[in-house]
Amino acid sequence: MIQQILQQSISKALKELYNIETEEKNIVLQPTKKEFEGDYTLVVFPYVKIAKKSPEMVAKEIGEKAKELSDIITGFNVIKGFLNFSVNKSYWNTFLDKNKCNETFGYGEKKNDSPIVIEYSSPNTNKPLHLGHIRNNLLGWSVAEILKANGYTVKKVNLVNDRGVHICKSMVAWLRYSNGETPETCGEKGDHLVGKYYVVFDKEYKKEIAELVAKGMTEEEAKKQAPIMVEAQNMLVKWENKDSEVRTLWEKMNSWVYAGFDATYKRLGIDFDKIYYESNTYLLGKELVQEGLEKGVFYKREDGSVWIDLTDEGLDEKLLLRKDGTSVYMTQDLGTACLRHNDFSSDRLIYVVGNEQIYHFQVLKKVMERLGFEWAKDLYHLSYGMVELPNGKMKSREGTVVDADDLMEAMYNEAKEISISHGKNKDLEEQEADKLYNTLALGALKYFMLKVDPSKTMLFNPKESIDFNGNTGPFIQYTYARICSIIRKAKEEKNIDAALSNIDMNIELSDKETELLKTISTFPNVVKEAGKNYSPSLIANFVYALAKQFNAFYQDTSILKEENENIMKERVCLTYFTGEVIKKAMHLLGIDVPQRM
């Protein structure tokens, strides 16, 4: 790649001029700003102190020496401490010819490191997946694919929170108020049915609290003594004591939820290499707590509850086991971390969890370190901001969440309506049109979610996400479909097969063509940075810029009507190469691109 060639020349220049030893990868080059002449810019300030010369002189000397060392540098200019290199345009012919059919273009070399384990989704079995889960799943899946593209072996895992008092709440409400209804008898998805009774529980709980307060209790007393809550807490104790009746009901209701989850994951295009269940891992966590007690890492209070004191780390005291012996989230996370490390011989564990859990993962890391696990230093919490809607936040207990299934169906209907109004379904069979609507709907949803930096809270606007203009998934998908149309016509009408055609190295490229190739050439670095920062938004920003730039090229440049056959071939090949890179980038975001629209 051209940046590597420039880095090599600059590295040699630094060594010869100032005896500065620096790895090529540490030499940072940026595309030259449009208002200046040049292709790539080097900031020379980091080398000024050692060279003991002015920034302008250092830039001039590096420019002259690098030009002497590399025949692809045709010239340079200096603006204060910025060195702008101009590259021989003939290089881009070679770059296009060499990489247009390179299936690994943009990807890093395979690494021999131990696998990276990335956990995402982590649903509770008391409710269906909602809008927040969608961001979690899309972010986790995309980061996993980006890390794979960087050469890492990645294991995608899910931890299902299938036990705890919140699960018992749905069970208690179902026993009290369902009259035995099942997904089969009511025609409702199992996760939706169980989620409905979680909402019912909350409503009944609030009623009981109000009644007890009216009888003279304080609100805090009423919350603890409300019969429905006491029943749920007693059910959890029975569950942990393996009461057969409670366990049978638990298995039945969870099976309904799993079937519902599977259907949602399938439609969303999400998969896992392994699924863990809290009902299995919390026992291992309890064993670790016992070991910590014996080592003096943890301590037991008078009521029998187990804690760790992390105040010397700037944190608080943290509960690990309740006084009745039941576990908390931290307990099962301890067990799960050890289990994954052992299952995959992995030292690098990534948790994709919302930023409201930042403190939880700070504590988890410290607890694991106190227990003596050296690999705990590489536990990483990939936190992300919440998803909000134009009408505010969501609350599961109150039934105000945006259900993932409902959202995908609404997106499908929106995509269908817009496609028909724009004539995108013209000449498509019904089945092909249906596939297109689904592809556009999911592309709009995924792109809108992933184009925002993970750390930021985002406002999701379904209508805005599915626009065919602007920074949206459908705009990029339409660009790819346009490219496919050009490639088909080139083959059918001009007998040009882009994959098999060779480039005439003597063709002088236009500025639009050169700029397009320069953007494409940054793809490997974008993939690398996205993996380094766990940020799919970098991929999204790149592919949008590329699609936008191709459309500008398409509007200003004759492709199939070009009279010179060699130039026509070159432009068809450039169009093909652009499409291949768009497809690769969109795959890293989990988005399919249609060949016809």
- The mean-pLDDT minimum among 363-367, 383-387, 391-395, 565-569 falls in 391-395
- Segment holding 78, helix H or strand E: strand 73-79
pLDDT band at 400 (very low <50, low <70, confident <90, very high): low
Q: Which of 13-22, 32-41, 187-196 has the highest mean pLDDT?
A: 187-196
The answer to whether residues 22 and 65 belong to one domain is yes
Residue 308: helix, strand or coil by DSSP? strand
Residues 366-389 have a mean pLDDT of 92
Percent of the chain clearing pLDDT 90 (strictly above): 79
From 88, 106, 141, the end of a domain falls on 88
Rg (CA), the chain: 29
User: Residue 255 domain-assigned?
Assistant: yes
CATH code for position 446:
1.10.730.10
List of residues 6+ apart from 423 with CB closer than 8 A: none
User: Residue 72 domain-assigned?
Assistant: yes
- The mean-pLDDT minimum among 57-66, 175-184, 429-438, 458-467 falls in 458-467
The answer to whether residues 156 and 81 belong to one domain is no
User: Residue 112 domain-assigned?
Assistant: no
Dist. CA 188–CA 120, nearest whole Å: 26
- Segment holding 317, helix H or strand E: strand 317-321
Residues 115-139 have a mean pLDDT of 94
The answer to whether residues 125 and 52 belong to one domain is no
Give the pair of three-digit tokens for residue 370: 């106190």
The answer to whether residues 148 and 79 belong to one domain is no
**Where in the sequence is the domain holding 232, given as residue range(s)?**
120-388
The answer to whether residues 411 and 456 belong to one domain is yes
The answer to whether residues 529 and 572 belong to one domain is yes
Q: Which residues of 333-361 are buried (b: 16+ CB within 10 A; e: fewer)?
A: bbbbbbbbbeebebbbbbbbbbeebeebb
Q: Which residues of 180-211 are buried (b: 16+ CB within 10 A; e: fewer)?
A: eeebeeeebbbbbbbbbbbbbbbebbeebbee
List of residues 6+ apart from 441 with CB closer than 8 A: 408, 411, 412, 414, 415, 466
- Segment holding 517, helix H or strand E: helix 511-521
The answer to whether residues 436 and 370 belong to one domain is no
User: Residue 110 domain-assigned?
Assistant: no
Contact present, 377 and 369 (Cβ < 8 Å): yes
CATH code for position 160:
3.40.50.620
Residues 117-137 have a mean pLDDT of 94
User: Residue 381 domain-assigned?
Assistant: yes
Q: What is the DSSP letter of 277?
A: E
CATH code for position 72:
3.30.1360.70
From 356, 388, 420, the end of a domain falls on 388
Residue 569: count other Cβ atoms within 10 Å of its Cβ: 21
Q: How far is CA 505 from the centre of its chain?
A: 40
pLDDT band at 11 (very low <50, low <70, confident <90, very high): very high
User: Residue 109 domain-assigned?
Assistant: no
Q: How many domains does the chain have?
A: 3
The answer to whether residues 351 and 408 belong to one domain is no
The answer to whether residues 357 and 505 belong to one domain is no
Dist. CA 280–CA 312, nearest whole Å: 32
Tell whether the model's pLDDT for residue 393 goes beyond 60.
Answer: no
